[in-house]
Amino acid sequence: MRPALALASLLGAATALSGCQLEPQRQIAVAPKPATIEGQWNSVGGPVAYVSNFSAGRFTSKTADGARVLADGSYTKTNPTQVSIIFTSTTRNTRESVNCNLMAADRMACVNSAGARFELTRRA
């Protein structure tokens, strides 16, 4: 009789517990880190390899080896993924403007005031 009583108790407990539902675990969505223009960017193609630096509104470009400054100026974020750059080209001694769009966290597409297009990739 005892095994039957134990079995009945066990079945009763299992039935009572089966009515309980565990609350599903909630997943908290983590917002992706916003893409930023700040930092160093490498040129893609072109006659001279260079690195552009965006830092707190200041824009500079240097040859890839860092030996020569090619441009110096400032930039303004027009929205979170666009930037307007005004700089002086040290090689041509001219004032120029460029607009860039952040296409991905590591890629920026730009066009200068003459319509020439170029790209930059985030420096690792």
Q: What is the DSSP string of the chain?
A: -HHHHHHHHHHHHHHHHHT--PPPPPPPPPPPPPP---EEEEE-SSSS-EEEEEETTEEEEEETTSSSEEEEEEEEEEETTEEEEEEEETTTTEEEEEEEEEEETTEEEEEETT--EEEEEE--
pTM across the whole model: 0.71
Domain ranges of the chain: 39-122
pLDDT digits (tens, 9 = 90+) for 12-65: 544 444 554 555 667 776 555 557 899 999 999 988 999 999 999 999 999 999
